[in-house]
Each structure stands twice: as C-alpha cells, then as structure tokens.
Structure 1
Amino acid sequence: MKKTIFFSLIGLVVLVILLGGIKGLQIKSMIAQGEQMAPPPTPVTTAAVNSARWSMALTAVGSLEAVQGVTVTAEISGKVTRIEFEAGRAVARGDLLVQQDVSTETAQMRSAQASMELARLNLKRARELLPENVITRANFDTVEAAFKQAAAQVDTIRATIAKKTIRAPFAGRLGLRQVNLGQNLSEGDPIVVLQSMDPIFVNFQLPQQELALIKRGLTVNVTTDALPGETVAGRITAINPVVDRATRNIRVQATMVNPEEHLRPGMFVRVAVALPTIREVLAIPATAVLYAPYSDSVFVVEPAPADGKAGKGSVVRQQFIRLGEKRGDFIAIASGLKAGEVVVSTGAFKLRNGQPVVVDNSLAPDFTLTPKPEEG
C-alpha cells in the first residue's frame, strides 16, 4: 500500500515537471516569435528642411493710440438745452454736439449790438466833423474808444455763446454720452469722448541695441487677436530721442491706415518691423516641432538600418533642435538640422525614437509664409 502511494506521488511529480517543461517551451517560442515580429509602419507626412531667404524683422508688443483723442468738456457753466449727437457715431469737424442755455447771452447780445451801432454812428459823425474842427481831437478819440469798447463787448458775448455751443474739435468717432438733457454742467465736466480712428498710431518699444537698425519709413506689420489671420501694414513715423533709463528701451511710433476702424485705441498688438537685410535660414513647418520645457525636438525620417526589424523601410530618429524666428506656417532652425534632411511634418507627438514609418504625403497640408484662415 505504501509502495503504491509512493510510486503515485513520483508519477505525479514527473507529470507536473513534464507539463511545466512543455509550457515553458511554448512561452519561449511565443517570446521568440514576438521578438521577430515587427509592428506595422506608421503613416506620416513629411517635409524637407529647406534653405530660405528671409528678410530680418524686429518683433515687439505694442498698443494702439488715436492720432487725436480728447474728452470733450464744458468750458463754462450752463444748463444743457440740446443734445445733438448719438453715442458711437462718426462726426465731422465743427458738428454741433451740445447746446447750453444761451438765453441770457442772446438778450445781452441784442443790447450790446444796439450800443455798438450807436457808437458806430457817433464815430461816423465824428469823422465827418473832425476835418472841419467842429470837435476836438480829444472828443474824437473818446468817441472812437467808445465804439471799440462796444465792439469788444459784442465779441465777448459772442465768445461766451460760442463756448456754450459745444462742437466737435476734429473729425472722429464719439464714445458714450456722459450728459443728460437739462443737466447743469460746470466748467470741466465731461460730455463725450472723441477719437480720431483713421489713421491710427501704434506705439512699441525696442532695445537700445536695435537703434542703429531702425529709421523712419520702415514698414511695420501689425497683427492682433481682433483680426485673426490678418496683417495690417504701416510705417515708422517717429522715434523717441530719449532712451528709457529703467528699461534701456527706445519708444517707436508707427502710423497705419484704418479705414474700416477695426483697430481701436488701447488695443494690444504684435509688431514686426521689416528690415531691409536678407538672411539665409533653414525652415521647417512649425507643426513638425515637439515643444518641451527641457528642449524642443523633431523626428527625422531615415532609411532603416540593415540589421534592424523595420526591414527596408524608413524609421524616425528624434533630433533635438534650437528654434529661431517663426514666420507664417514655418519656423527657422538655429541648430540641430541640416538642409536636405526630411522631418515628420504632422502627428509627431504619436511617434517614438526608432519607430518604423511609411511616408504618405497625399493628405499633407500646404504650408505658406502668409497663411489665410478659411472662412467658415
């Protein structure tokens, strides 16, 4: 009985060892097959690293400012009797905005004009009598002075009426109304903001070391989030003669046409000053770059090594690079690539170093230096 149990246990152990050996051989075979199996190549679009001639540009951030801008205020105290403008409308120079009460001045004007007319007649008679020595020269001077005083009184009242008749000092666009009908305005009370919109200034600052590169007349290209995909051109019209002591920057002003008034004073803009100097750069599509805090990189497409698992196809190699200026859909490469190399232009984020790929540019996007977004 004991011998039977003993032999049964031995047989069971042998069976377990045999099954374990068979399973181990199967796993080893599967591992070997997995090592020999290459993943299918990933389709990618590519672009060549091309040498291009780019005009140099100085970039900065700036803000827009009206060529003429003012808050129209009351010059003298008075009650508002008429409001002749609508908020947000364009006005011409001299258009009536607000009329203050001038009833008292109008009455005073009639009296002053009557006094001036009487003084004029007296002066006329005095001129006729003076050559005949009917009146003395002193009397003539008194009559003449009386006429001038009467005329001055008329001019004073007329100036008061003009100050209470508030007109647009220049052509532009009005802001929000800040007065109401019947309101008593004091001297200096705001009425409405008036801004000249076309042309418009853009103010920006450049480092002092760039002073030798800039001059009046250079083209300035301005972009803003308010006009996506559009570039507005202008020209440098003024360079501040004083360098800021705190920042060592110099303030520059450019003027741009703004017929549709899409650009408004106070807006933030990006500025690029086009310089006449041309330089050679290596450019690739900006979509090819993998941006990272430690270093930016691209994937270079190369023939697969002869002893590799990718066969005779292509593989990608991650290459770290240093970036330069961005222009349109392209970005300049300061170092890390050579002309003629081919990089993955889209979808680089899904690749890994050494991964087999197949090039398919049938759906590759068109890259340009002056992209224009399609209208939806």
Structure 2
Amino acid sequence: MNKQTKVIVIVVILLVIAGAFLYPRLDFRKSNEGSSSSSGAAASSGLPVEVVEIKKRTLKNQLSVTGTILPNESVDLRPEVSGLVTKINFNEGEYVKKGTPLLYLNDDELQAQYQKLEYTQKLFESQENRQKQLLAREAISQEEYDIVLNQYNTTLSDLKLVEAQIQKTVVRAPFDGILGLRQVSEGSVIGVGDVIVRVVNMDPIKIEFSIPERYANLVKLGSAVYFSSESSPEEVEGTVYAYEPQIDAATRTLKLRAQSSNKEGKFLPGMFVKIRFVLDEINDALMVPSESVIPELQGYKVFVVDAEQKALERNVEIGTRTESEVQILSGLEEGDLVLATGVLQARTGTALEVTKIN
C-alpha cells in the first residue's frame, strides 16, 4: 500500500466516524420540528372566520334610481295675434314678475276702433237717458225704449271686444321666472306660432323618476327622496308630491315626481340626477350581510357561532334586501354571532376560530 492510498483510507474512516456522530443529532432536530409543527396545526385547527354581531337598528328601505330635473313652470311665449313688433321690453336672462309687459305689437287700428266706439257709446248713453225719461211720462212706447237700450248695450259689448283685442297686443309674463334667449326683433312681423322667448320658473324644481312596479304599493305622498348631480354631488332632500295613476306597460315602471327648493339655482332643468328614494322605515330590524345568507330549496339559512365556538346552522326567513344586507324576519335574535366569511366551508359542528367581530 503506497502513501497516497493510506491517506485516502484515513480520510474515509474519519468521514464515517463524523457521520455516525452527527446523524443522531440531525434526526433529533427533525423529530422536534415535526412535533412542533403538529402541535401548531392542532392549535390552529379551527376554521378562521369573521362574524357579525346582530343588533336591532332602523332600516331605511330605499331604491337607487336616476331621474331628470324639471322646472316648476316653463313656457315658450307666443303672441295671441299676429302683428308688427313695435317694442321689446326685456333683456335676455333677466328675472321678471308675473304680469310684466315683455313685448308690444302695433295696435293703431284697434285704438282707432276703440275711440270710435267710445263716441258711439256716449251718444247711445244720452239717447237712452232721454228715452227713459220719456218712457216714464208714457210719451213713448216700451218698444221704442228697448231699441235704444239695445243699441247702447251692443256698443258697450263692442267696446269690451276691442279692448280685449288691444290687450292681446301686449305679451306679458305668465308667472315669475327667468327669461331665456330672445327669438324676435323690433320691426319684425310675427304670427301666433312664433316663439318670442322662453320663461322658466326654477324655484322650486321638480324631480321626475320611475321605480319598478313591485314597489308601487309602497309609494306614499310625502316620502323623502335624496338627489345629487355631477355639478353638485352633495345630496339634497326632496318630497314626493304626485305620481302617475297607472303602470307604464312598456317599461313596467311607475313614474313619480318630487319637489325641492332651489333658491341658490344649483339645479337646472334637464339635469341628470342620481336619486335615493326612501320607500319606508322599519324600526328594530335585524340585518345580516348578503353573503351570510345561503339559499336552499326550502328557504334560507345562516351559520352562527354557538357557545362552544362551533358552527351552528339556523333556518331563517328573510325580508327586505338592500345593496349589501338582508333583513331577517325570524330565526335569529339580537346578539347572535353570524358568520360573514367561511360560509361555504362551514358545517354544523365545525370548530371555528373567530378572527374579527363586526
């Protein structure tokens, strides 16, 4: 055996001795780690869940819909008679009171007719007075007096007719409101179909919207609505004052209108608004998250945490639904802990580890 071979043999012997010495220690550490892992798994063997503690509170049964802002009053002003525009008595965009003269049409011919009838009326009035005196002395017959009286009364009626025609040559504001853009000019001849200007009353405003027919029986006059627009995201309160007496057969919806103050002019007619319509309020309602309710063939169920921190199945009867919650009518009591997570994994008797209580 040469020297190199001896060295190799010695190194192998040393490695064997070192392995024999270290192997029991490694095996012992592995066994300790395995036992620690087993004990940790046993400690956390419960299903981790989040629960909700049931408390009585007021439930606002409400819908989220969209609607449109309408003016309180709006009209396109048109003349009642044709004629030449002699004077425009308003500025675009200004606020006017009811009865304010806005436009004048030429009434020269009507004024001449009115003046002529005034002279005729005075003549017949004096004749009627004389005939009345003569009739009192029986100097004339009743028939002669009646003829003069009829002429007098006819003239009075003609005067009222011409006066009414003269009034039609002045276009007045039909209500308080803001004027829009003028569509005519002085000197133009306009007809009864020509638009002069639009008048809009925007305080209060009306909010028109529709709800599904299944909620029609819950509608009450005076119900509150809350609405907002893109330009005014803060919610403003309104009140339902009227609704259609029938369901729209095409859309299966019921149309409603609400009213709200608009003194600052934030909302303009035609605006698109988001509406939160409160149908009714339920006191002492028990609410659970929608994900807690499991539908079954015979109804619905939820899981609660019992005294031993295990899952317990409860059959429940549900009521009103909101966007994220469901009302429980029976099957639960105030203070119950209902599973909000881990619902699909839970079974009756499943050990639970509650990680969060809402």
Structure 1 and Structure 2 fold alike (TM over 0.5): yes
Matched, 1:181 2:186: yes
Q: How does 1:1-376 map to 2 (within 5 A)?
A: 53-228=58-233, 230-274=234-278, 275-278=280-283, 279-281=285-287, 332=324
CA distance in 2, matches of 1:118, 1:237: 57
Residues 190 and 132 of structure 1: CA distance in aligned 2, closer, same or farther (over 3 Å): same
Give the letter for the 2:98 counterpart: R
Tell me, yes or no, if the aligned pair for 1:76 and 1:188 is still in contact at 8 Å.
no
| 1:59 positional shift | 2.0
- Contact preservation (8 Å) 1:53, 1:281: no
In structure 2, C-alpha distance between the alignment counterparts of 1:222 and 1:94, rounded to whole Å: 33
Aligned length: 249
Kept after mapping to 1: 8 A contact 2:202/2:262: yes
Q: Helix, strand or coil: the match of 1:157?
A: helix
Structure 2, unmatched stretches of 5+, are: 1-50, 290-320, 327-336, 342-358
Once the two structures are TM-superposed, the CA of residue 91 in structure 1 deviates from its matched residue by 0.9
Shift of 1:49: 7.3
Q: Could you tell me how far apart the structure 1 residues matched to 2:125 and 2:269 are? A: 53
CA separation of 1:67 and 1:84: change in aligned 2, threshold 3 A? same
Letter in structure 1 aligned against 2:132:
R
**Structure 1 counterpart of 2:236, one-letter code:** V
Q: Which residue of 1 aligns with 2:350?
A: none
The whole-number CA distance in structure 2 between the counterparts of 1:253 and 1:179 is: 34
CA positional deviation for 1:143: 0.8
CA distance in 2, matches of 1:101, 1:58: 56
Task: Specify the alignment match of 1:12 in structure 2.
Answer: none
**Contact 2:59 2:281 survives alignment (8 Å):** no
Distance (Å, rounded) in 1 between the aligned partners of 2:102 and 2:246: 39
Q: Structure 1 runs of 4+ off > 4 angstroms?
A: 48-54, 278-283, 338-342
> Deviation at 1:162?
0.6
TM-score by length of 2: 0.64
> What is the CA-CA distance between 1:72 and the residue it aligns to?
0.6
Counterpart CA distance in 2 for 1:150 and 1:131 is: 24
Question: d(CA) in 2 for partners of 1:185 and 1:201?
Answer: 33
Q: 1:280 to 1:178 in 2, by over 3 A?
A: farther
Percent identity between the aligned chains? Answer: 29
- Mapped partners of 1:93, 1:339: distance in 2: 63
CA RMSD of the aligned region, Å?
2.7
Q: Whole-Å Cα distance in 2 between the matches of residues 122 and 64 of structure 1?
A: 63
Partner amino acid, structure 1, of 2:226: N
Query: Highest Rg: 1 or 2?
Result: 2
- Letter in structure 1 aligned against 2:267: L
Supply the distance in 2 between the matched residues of 1:196 and 1:95 (Cα, whole angstroms): 14
Write the distance in 2 (CA, Å) between the matches of 1:248 and 1:167. 42
SS of equivalent residue, structure 1 residue 241? coil
> Within 2, Cα distance between the matches of 1:267 and 1:88?
19
Q: Provide structure 1 residue ranges, at least 5 long, that are not aligned to the other structure.
A: 1-47, 284-323, 327-331, 343-376
Aligned-partner Cα distance in 1 for 2:190–2:164: 18
